[in-house]
Amino acid sequence: MPVVFAILLVIAGTVGFMMLPDREYPEMDPPFVNVTTIYTGANPEVIKAQITEPLEQEINGVEGIRVISSTSMEQASLISVEFNLGEDIDRAASDVRDRVSRALKYLPKDADPPIVAKMDANTNPIFFSLLKARSTPFLK
C-alpha cells in the first residue's frame, strides 16, 4: 500500500510539473502617458491645427520618448506618448504635464484644459455603459 501511494504521488507531481507554465521572457509593458483635450464644437481640422500640433511640438522635447501618436476627432484630441522600457512612469508623466502647461498659451481659450493621465497597459475596463437619449411621446 505505501508503494502504491508513493507511485501515485510521483505521478501526480510529474503531471503537475508538466502543466506549470513557463515563460521565456518576463512580462514587460512600456509606460504610456495620454493627453486628452476637449474643444466643444470644433471639427477635426481645427482640433489638429489648434490643439494637437502645438501640444505634440511641446511634448516632443521630453526625453525617453519612444513613440508619439495622436488622433484628432470631432471635439477632442488624444495624444498617446509611449516611453522606453525602464523609464519611470511618474517622472515621465510629470515631464509631460510640465510641457503641456507650457503649451497652454498656444491653445484656444474656449478649449478645456488638457488632461494628462498615466496608463497601465494591463488595465482593462471593468464595465462599459452606453446610454442613448430617446425621444418619447411622454417627455415632450
What per-residue confidence (pLDDT) applies to 123?
56
* Sign of CA pseudo-dihedral 17, 21, 24, 27: negative
What per-residue confidence (pLDDT) applies to 8?
94
Q: How far is CA 86 from CA 6, 51, 65, 102, in A?
A: 47, 30, 11, 26
What per-residue confidence (pLDDT) applies to 139?
47
Q: Which residue carries 491653445 as its cell?
A: 107
Domain ranges of the chain: 33-119
What per-residue confidence (pLDDT) applies to 140?
46
What per-residue confidence (pLDDT) applies to 138?
47
- Residue 95 in grid coordinates: 515631464
What per-residue confidence (pLDDT) applies to 69?
92
d(CA 44, CA 50): 10
Nearest to residue 54, comparing CAs of 34, 77, 32?
Answer: 77
Name the stretches of the chain with pLDDT < 50. Answer: 132-133, 135-136, 138-140
What per-residue confidence (pLDDT) applies to 131?
52
User: 0.85 exceeded by the pTM?
Assistant: no
Instruction: Enter the DSSP assignment of 77.
Output: E
Question: What is the domain class of 33-119 according to CATH?
Answer: alpha beta
| Residues contacting residue 58 through CB under 8 Å, at least 6 positions apart | 99, 100, 102, 103, 106
d(CA 135, CA 76): 27
Q: What count of other Cβ atoms lies within 10 Å of the Cβ of residue 106? A: 13
